[in-house]
Structure 1
Amino acid sequence: MGSMTAAFLGSYTPRLDEKGRLFLPAKYRDGLGEKVVLTKGPDRCVTIYPEAVFHARIAARLASATTSSRSVRNLRRALLGQAADEAPDRQGRVTIPAPLRAYAGLDRDCTVVGQGDYVEVWDTAAYAEIEASSNLELDDLNADGEEFVF
């Protein structure tokens, strides 16, 4: 059973099969648990959350946000309207629905990147571009307006 404190670290390069299934990295499987939620992520990736984390972190916050705001409504449509709940199979594969594969440009070669309490799935070439274009100096990074301490 997954834990809400699972730390998904590192990156892996699995492939999608012809049915749009992704082998979840073995190190992530326990933390992801028996049910996951896949949805659109920032910068055209797919995010995979343990079900409990998605409901606590994303769905609950969207539910409490005002629907009188157009940007909130659009965010709800993007994150909830495109979400899919999936149960990984016995081999640790999860199906990424076609609309999410299209959104992220996922075809065959994927890069799966741990983000602490969730996972991002990228087209490998797109992820390489993001990495190459970031050019950030770690010393200059800020977290919530404060210097990030290593």
Structure 2
Amino acid sequence: MKGEYKHSIDAKGRLAMPAKLREELGDRFTITKGRDGCLYAYPEREWEVFEQKLKALGGSEKARRTQRYYMAKAIDVELDAQGRVLIRADLREFAGLRKDVIVVGMMDRAEIWDSERWNAYYDDCDESELDDVDF
């Protein structure tokens, strides 16, 4: 998955998923709290991989906190006939989702951002910080 897509959430909390990402996410996928103030949306196969990684963390306090962070609010969603998903109110509140939303393809998942939060985050990225990442 890749790309940045502008969409909106309706008054009932439904988000029309970008057509280009629907194919990769599938009709059913999992949404959970993400990092940096966004939500993560995982296709079923990638969610299973993610769950296995969480299980492999073990039973330390840090591992349990991490597992609870992602698992407690995770919801399985299904696209309706119009390609929309209902995002639960507590998840919308966590991510500050109002009307305008940006959906970002992030390889194995999509991220769902409030438009203003995304713009502030992305505009704050300093290209020189990327020099520290070795790949």
Shorter-chain TM range is over 0.9
1:17-43 superposed Cα distances (whole Å, 9 cap, x missing partner): 111110000111111112100001110
CA distance in 2, matches of 1:110, 1:28: 15
CA RMSD of aligned residues (A): 1.3
Write out aligned runs for 1:98-109 (5 A): 98-109=89-100
CA 1:52/1:140 → structure 2, altered by over 3 Å: closer, same or farther? same
Q: Give the match for residue 9 of structure 2.
A: 16
Matched residue count? 135
Stretches of structure 1 that go unaligned for 5 or more consecutive residues are 1-7
Q: Give the match for residue 43 of structure 1.
A: 36
Within the alignment, does 1:52 sit opposite 2:40 as a pair?
no
What secondary structure does 1:48 align onto? strand
| Structure with the bigger percentage of helix | 2
1:57-116 superposed Cα distances (whole Å, 9 cap, x missing partner): x1111122212x111111111101110001111111011111111110001110111101
Bigger mean CA offset, 70-79 vs 131-140: 131-140
Within the alignment, does 1:135 sit opposite 2:126 as a pair?
yes
Q: Give the match for residue 62 of structure 1.
A: 54
Deviation at 1:49, TM superposition (A): 0.6
Runs of 4+ in 1 over 3 A off after TM superposition: none
The amino acid that maps onto 1:62 is L
Q: Give the match for residue 77 of structure 1.
A: 68
- % same residue: 36
Within the alignment, does 1:117 sit opposite 2:105 as a pair?
no
CA distance in 2, matches of 1:87, 1:99: 18
CA distance in 2, matches of 1:11, 1:21: 19
| Structure with the bigger percentage of strand | 2
Q: TM-score, normalised by structure 1?
A: 0.85
The amino acid that maps onto 1:113 is V
What secondary structure does 1:72 align onto? helix
What secondary structure does 1:43 align onto? coil
Stretches of structure 2 that go unaligned for 5 or more consecutive residues are none
Deviation at 1:14, TM superposition (A): 0.3
